[in-house]
Amino acid sequence: MDIRQATVSDLLGMQKTNLFNLPENYTFKYYLYHAMTWPELSYVACNPKGEVVGYILAKMDEENTEIPSGHVTSISVLRSYRRLGLAAKLMRQSQHAMNHLYKAHHITLHVRESNKPAISLYRDNLGFEQTGVEKGYYADGESAYQMTYKFNKD
């Protein structure tokens, strides 16, 4: 499996994977905005045929710029490629770029309260902590956990 930085030609494959996996979908323009603004932060996992089977779409926080922080907009892996360590690898690549290129102090993301696999990925595997709850965050009314990863735990 090939894991590499996403390019503009991967964006349709990322969008397709997102549509398969998650109800939170984005316009193509939004993918393009990520790729043009923070090209080093989004990654894809491709199978031997070169098809996108997983992705991480990530950005830097544009509102609170005093302390630079990264934000994971979306991450997902197609069902038949799960539990191979792809999501963890995609996240680590993006984390590394956020920290080294953008000097991020921490990373935030939202996850559905009911999304046990993703919560386990973030908390147990990657070292994120739950730092808040946003009631009714999702369009269907489900609440989100806000999860944060701190680069320098001190």
Ligand X SMILES: CC(C)(COP(=O)(O)OP(=O)(O)OC[C@H]1O[C@@H](n2cnc3c(N)ncnc32)[C@H](O)[C@@H]1OP(=O)(O)O)[C@@H](O)C(=O)NCCC(=O)NCCS
86 in contact with ligand X (CB under 6 A): yes
- Contact between 124 and ligand X by CB under 6 A: the answer reads yes
CB of 92 to ligand X, least distance (A): 10
Number of alpha helices (DSSP H) and beta strands (DSSP E) in the chain: 4, 7
Angle of helix 28-37 relative to helix 11-21, nearest 10 degrees, comes to 130
**Residues in binding contact with ligand X, number by CB under 6 A:** 21
Q: Decide if residue 11 touches ligand X (CB under 6 A).
A: no
**26 — phi, psi (to 5°)?**
-130, 155
Binding segment for ligand X (CB under 6 A), chosen from 5-13, 75-83, 96-104, 135-143, is: 75-83
The residue among 36 and 82 lying less far from ligand X, judged by its C-beta, is 82
Smallest gap from Cβ 2 to ligand X, in A, equals 14
Under DSSP, is residue 149 helix (H, G, I), strand (E, B) or coil? Answer: strand
End-to-end CA distance of the chain: 35
Q: What does the block give as tokens for 129?
A: 């902590």
Binding region for ligand X (CB under 6 A)? 21-22, 75-77, 82-88, 111, 115-118, 120-121, 124-125
